Amino acid sequence: MMQSELLTLVIPTHNRARYCLAQLRFFRSCGVRHRIVVADSSDHVESEAVRAGCAGLADYVRVDRTLKQYEQFAWIVRAIDTPYVVLTPDDDIAFPHAIEAALAYLQAHDDHVAVHGYSLRFGMHGPDIDIYAVEHFIPTIGEDHPMERLYHLMRRFQPHLWAVFRTAAYASAIESAAAIDGTVFQELLFLTISILKGKVARLPMIYAMRGPEISRVHPSEFDPFQWFLKDAESFFRHYIVYRNTLVDFIRRSPDCLQIHVSHQISVEQIIDLINATFLGRTLDLGVVNYNVRWALGELEQPFKFPPPWAGWKEPMEGDLIHPSSQIANRRYVWRRAVIEAEPKQEITISAEEINRVATQLDHYRF
């Protein structure tokens, strides 16, 4: 199979052979001609299934299971020799047409480090795919000044970890992230350093859909608020390490130091204020009060966060039912919350895009 020398797709996987191989077969069935690397840290039985499933479809790489997630990412990317790279979660669905559009956009815009599109949420009910929410949609962060880009990233925080990247920019940011502890702040450091390095575009197309799989790690590993609820002292200790690492990067970057503010304040202070525009919004005082009452013995158990997908509901007025043309009994149920997603001036999902995604989803099979 002829492969392009522009882009490498990486699927990191851990004990999700079924989902990983569904994504891999989906890419190839949709005609993807880029190199695909499956980076596997699974247990033995799952690993054997992944290795066998990669035959003829992807390069299989065994990853040291003792490495933490961002250390694994850094290790993987060191071996990538194409100018562009994209990592895709093993339990998501990333769409080839959107990846190709992102790659073309990056090639045409030297001042951008990454490009992606809309991220949707989906659940599965038998053969049906329930597309129920638009999760990530904020527009391109394209300000010329690096610190302005940082501010706009944090004030309406939505991650771009899984975008199509310039490999050099990705590698630099992921190495910095892997050097600190705490998954939440590793992600934030990766995102903040990459946005300081260049602009990040969001194209008006469906780039990926996040599935209903429950994370195998405690939510405090990826949700800053749940980390704060679990161990506030640890949260703030790790925050300082993240903040100081980011400040050191800024001080080594002349373009970042041209900060124009009405009052003379330290770099540390402005970074704390920028971070507060995001971290402050994650704070839910109702949940805090609930957990305090639990800690004082007034309630029997701590607050339990609901799952992202509430479960299957029969289609209602305003939902779009799109029968599969290839798979018997499969329907794509586009919920009204997606079709009429707000804010409308920022989210444009055309009928053509829905048809394009539905056509590609016909290739997604377990």
Residues 313-347 have pLDDT tens digits of: 999 999 999 999 999 999 999 999 999 999 999 99
Q: Would you place residue 213 in the very low, low, confident or very high pLDDT band (cuts 50, 70, 90)? A: confident
% of the chain with per-residue pLDDT over 90: 89
- Torsion over CA: 149, 191, 30, 344 (sign): negative
Using the predicted structure, report yes or no on whether residue 105 has a pLDDT greater than 80.
yes
Using the predicted structure, report yes or no on whether residue 358 has a pLDDT greater than 60.
yes
Using the predicted structure, report yes or no on whether residue 3 has a pLDDT greater than 70.
no
Measured between alpha carbons, how far is 36 from 57 in angstroms, rounded to an integer? 8
Query: What is the reported pTM?
Result: 0.95
Using the predicted structure, report yes or no on whether residue 261 has a pLDDT greater than 70.
no
Using the predicted structure, report yes or no on whether residue 355 has a pLDDT greater than 80.
yes
Q: Residue 212: what pLDDT?
A: 80
CA angle 176, 178, 182 (to 5 degrees): 115
Cβ-based neighbour number of residue 160 at 10 Å:
23
71-89: b (≥16 Cβ within 10 Å) or e = bbbbbbbeebeebbbbbbb
The answer to which of 125-129, 156-160, 258-262 has the lowest mean pLDDT is 258-262
Q: Assign 52 to helix, strand or coil.
A: helix
Q: Would you place residue 262 in the very low, low, confident or very high pLDDT band (cuts 50, 70, 90)? A: low
Q: Assign 200 to helix, strand or coil.
A: strand
Measured between alpha carbons, how far is 212 from 308 in angstroms, rounded to an integer? 7
